[in-house]
Amino acid sequence: MIILSQQLVLGFMIGGLYGLAAVGLSLIFGVLKVLNVAHGELIMLGGYGAYWLFALLGFDPFASLLLVVPLSLLLGLGLYCALFGFVVRTDEETRIKNSLLIGFGLALALHALAVKLWTADERGITTSYAGSVLIVGHLAIPLVRLASLAVAFALIAALHLLLTRWRWGRAIRATADDWQAALLTGIDVRRAYLLAFALGTGLAGAAGTLVSVGYSISPSIGLEWTLKALIVVVLAGLGSMFGTFVGGLFLGLAEAASAAVFGGPYREVVGLVIIFAVLVARPQGLFGAR
């Protein structure tokens, strides 16, 4: 029983990161209707950014968020202007096709680049407080991961505020709902696309930083994280940022429970089976509104 609850606690904490990874993807997918299959590679880049700041300059990884997130935002702006901005000009069918082609190309290129820059070894950030745990009853809670969960939640709350309070945030939501209607009301849809893409990339950078602190990164983690994020996006449905976060927590818990029941190797399978079942039963996702 203790082992199971310990597993669930750890699953809950990685679930927060699944949620954060998925929120960025969900924003891009929901607004641009573009499936960015290189999202996991953007997470990986964010992780290496934090790793470099830590290894070369001695920055605390949580503090380096202040640098990694803006840099990721800039990267997002660049990627949109150079690549994805051309994709959204096409109709919806061509859009999926071209975003897959460009996404895979980007994923390959970023993966190769990361191997070149940082070698294929697994890396992680080991801070002086890395080993600290909080003991609650019989459970041990790693402080770093707990802090990561809190940061993930804070970032999603901030995104929620941005999307509901900020003028451009509302424009992004309007564009996601119906871009033609948004265009008719005078919203600069292209700029809403640009902002949504940059925000999504910024969140990927933040997720990568948190992954490199509590867990580990390597150039090949991209596909795995893209998959996790996709699973959560589908599980939660589009439209609700908190719903996506809850979807991430749910996936983390489900994986932990299945690891405890069926053994470690099957933890991923269970998540995938859940997603397929949810998709078929509720094609709009658990929290999706349609």
Which letter does DSSP use for residue 84 in this model? I
Residue type, position 238, single letter: L
The sign of the dihedral angle between the CA atoms of 209, 239, 281, 91 is negative
- Residues 30-69 as x/- pattern, contact with other proteins by CB under 8 A: ---x-x----------------------------------
Token pair 């960025």 in the structure block, residue:
24
Residue 230 binding other proteins, by CB under 8 A: yes
CA distances from 282 to 31, 35, 63, 207, 253 (A): 21, 20, 40, 28, 20
Work out which of 55, 112, 181, 289 binds other proteins, going by CB under 8 A: 112
Q: Residue 51 has which token pair?
A: 């790793």
Residue 107 binding other proteins, by CB under 8 A: yes
Residue 78 binding other proteins, by CB under 8 A: no
Work out which of 13, 31, 102, 156 binds other proteins, going by CB under 8 A: 102
Residue 105 binding other proteins, by CB under 8 A: yes
Contact 218, 132 (CB under 8 A): no
CB atoms closer than 10 angstroms to residue 162 = 16
CA distance 165 to 138: 42
Contact 76, 200 (CB under 8 A): yes
Residue 273 binding other proteins, by CB under 8 A: yes
Q: Whose CA is closest to 137, among 40, 46, 5, 25?
A: 5
Which letter does DSSP use for residue 211 in this model? H
Residue 111 binding other proteins, by CB under 8 A: yes
CA–CA–CA angle 148, 149, 154 (5° rounding): 95
Work out which of 4, 63, 81, 108 binds other proteins, going by CB under 8 A: 108
Stretch that binds other proteins, among 2-10, 28-36, 66-74, 132-140 (CB under 8 A): 28-36
Residue 164 binding other proteins, by CB under 8 A: no
Residue 193 binding other proteins, by CB under 8 A: no
Q: Name the minimum Å distance from CB 268 to other proteins.
A: 5
Q: Name the minimum Å distance from CB 4 to other proteins.
A: 21
Q: Residue 88 has which token pair?
A: 């959204």
Contact 31, 90 (CB under 8 A): no
Work out which of 53, 198, 233, 246 binds other proteins, going by CB under 8 A: 233
Which letter does DSSP use for residue 131 in this model? T
Residue 91 binding other proteins, by CB under 8 A: no
Which letter does DSSP use for residue 186 in this model? T
Q: Which of residues 253-272 bind other proteins (CB under 8 A)?
A: 265-266, 268-269, 272
Q: Name the minimum Å distance from CB 154 to other proteins.
A: 28
Binding residues (CB under 8 A) for other proteins: these are 29, 33, 35, 83, 86-87, 90, 92-94, 96-98, 100-102, 104-113, 115-116, 223, 227, 230-231, 233-234, 265-266, 268-269, 272-273, 275-276, 279-280, 283
